[in-house]
Amino acid sequence: MKKILPYLGITCGAFLFAFGLNFFIIANGLAEGGFTGLALILHYLTKWSFGSILLTLNIPLFFIGWQMWGKSFVLKTLLGVLTVSFAVDLTSGIGFHTQDLLLSALYGGVLSGSGLGLVLRSGATTGGVDIIARLLYEKTGISMGKIFLSFDLAVLSFVAFFFGLEKALYTLVALYISSQVIDRLIEGVDEARAITIISEVNQTIADAIIHNLERGATILKGYGAYTGEEKHVLYVVINKHELLHLKRIIRTIDPHAFIIISNVYEVLGEGFRPQK
């Protein structure tokens, strides 16, 4: 069963992406980022099959990936590209036409992002800019984030040139929503809070956390950069709904404590989600 689950995830993700793309994005003339956006532009201009265009654009990159990173990498990429291409072509023709392009951008971004996130979590990739970014990073040292951003900006420029600035701006909304959904699926949706506390009575605060919140805590040794004095730093991770209770505990014990609160997208381990 464990061997089947990744393929099931890739298939479900591909069809979820295809539904979002066809039903909201393509039906209302919007686009996407990356190679998907480039394939959509060519699809709009030529009326050729989107799946065929996406697969054709990726063929040269398969050979590059094979030479650079081996058969395993290419097979996962090929699986992702073939499944997504097939799913989009199979579900083509369905669509929800609306005058409110913002709705199309929002729902299209959520569904396509959910689908791609599921494909990525299942161990496959959709090729395209992923391969180009990785190659350029290894050859030139340019960060992959900058490469992704540059390619997306280029695609958005093409959309603005061929289909108008309004379509490009709504495409940008869909792209942003999609990227946020993908991040949540990859990094996790169980948001937590990491709290760093600097106080003269950290042990007392730690005892209160253990007894009142039933959470573990870690005390780290540090030194003040200005005074050179030894400091004890308390570190604790809690669920976001426990934050208010923790702040009350700290305020009661030491109202002058220095507190740093950070967002955590996923926590694995005792008291949270177990590792798989």
Q: Is residue 272 part of a domain?
A: no
Domain that includes residue 14, residue range: 4-187
- Asked if the structure places residue 275 within a domain, the reply is no
C-alpha dist (Å) from residue 256 to 165, 202, 204: 52, 12, 14
Average pLDDT, the chain: 87
* Whole-number Å distance between alpha carbons of 127 and 81: 7
Pair 176, 41 in one domain: yes
Question: Of 187, 208, 226, at which residue does a domain stop?
Answer: 187
- Report the CATH number that the domain containing residue 206 is assigned in CATH: 3.30.70.120
For 234: left if phi > 0, alpha if psi spans -120 to 50, otherwise beta; the answer is beta
Q: Could you give the CA distance from residue 248 to residue 1 in angstroms, rounded to a whole number? A: 47
166, 187, 208 - which closes a domain: 187
Residues 172 and 211 in one domain: no
Confidence tier at 204 by pLDDT (50, 70, 90): very high
Number of structural domains in the chain: 2
In a domain, 42, yes or no: yes
Are 238 and 107 found together in one domain? no
**Dist. CA 195–CA 163, nearest whole Å:** 48
- pLDDT surpassing 80 at residue 157: yes
Domain's final residue, options 187, 217, 233: 187
Q: Do 84 and 129 reside in the same domain of the chain? A: yes
Which is more confident, 191 or 251? Answer: 251
pLDDT digits (tens, 9 = 90+) for 21-64: 999 999 999 999 889 999 999 999 999 999 999 999 999 888 88
User: Comparing C-alpha atoms, which of 44, 33, 35 is closest to residue 171?
Assistant: 33
Rounded to an integer, the average pLDDT of 71-79 is: 80
Same domain, 167 and 221: no
What pTM value is reported for the model? 0.73
Residues 142 and 224 in one domain: no
Q: Do 160 and 167 touch, CB atoms closer than 8 A? A: yes
